[in-house]
Structure 1
Amino acid sequence: MPTPIPANARNPLRTFRFRIRMNTSAAGQYVAGVRTVSGLSVHVSPFEVWEGGNNLHRYAQPHKVNWEPIVMEQGLALDDTLERWALAVLEFARTGKAPGEAVKRDVFIDLWDGFAHPTEVPAPGPEARIRSFYVHNAWVSKYHALPKLDAMAGEVALLSLELTHEGWEPVPKPPASKPASPA
Structure 2
Amino acid sequence: MTTPVPANARNPLRTYRFRLRMDTSAAGDYVAGVRSVSGLTVQVGAYEVWEGGNNLHRYAQPHKVAWENIVLEQGLAVDDTLERWARAVLEFARTGKAPGEAVKRDVFIDLWDEYAHPTEVPAPGPASARIRSFHVHNAWVSKYHALPKLDAMAGEVALMTVELTHEGWEPVPRPSPTKPAPSTTPA
Residue 124 of structure 2 is matched in structure 1 by 121
Residue 49 of structure 1 is matched in structure 2 by 49
Distance 2:125 2:25 in 1: 22
Q: How does 1:133-144 map to 2 (within 5 A)?
A: 133-144=134-145
Gaps in structure 1 of 5+ consecutive residues: none
Assess, with a 3 A threshold, how the Cα gap between structure 1 residues 7 and 179 changes in structure 2: closer, same or farther: farther
Q: CA RMSD in A?
A: 2.2
Deviation digits for residues 83-114 of structure 1, max 9, x if unmatched? 00000000000011111100000000001115
Residue 170 of structure 2 is matched in structure 1 by 169
Q: After TM superposition, what 4+ stretches of structure 1 lie above 6 angstroms from structure 2?
A: none
AA in 2 matched with 1:15: T
Contact 2:69 2:165 in 1 (8 A): yes
AA in 2 matched with 1:85: W
Q: How many residues matched?
A: 178
Distance 2:96 2:29 in 1: 27
Assess, with a 3 A threshold, how the Cα gap between structure 1 residues 122 and 175 changes in structure 2: closer, same or farther: farther
AA in 2 matched with 1:30: Y
Contact 2:114 2:129 in 1 (8 A): no
Report which stretch shifted further, 100-109 or 17-26.
17-26
Residue 15 of structure 1 is matched in structure 2 by 15
AA in 2 matched with 1:17: R
Q: Which has the higher contact order (CA 8 A, sep 6+)?
A: 1
Is 1:147 aligned to 2:148, yes or no? yes
TM superposition shift of 1:11: 1.9
Alignment partner of 1:100: what SS? coil
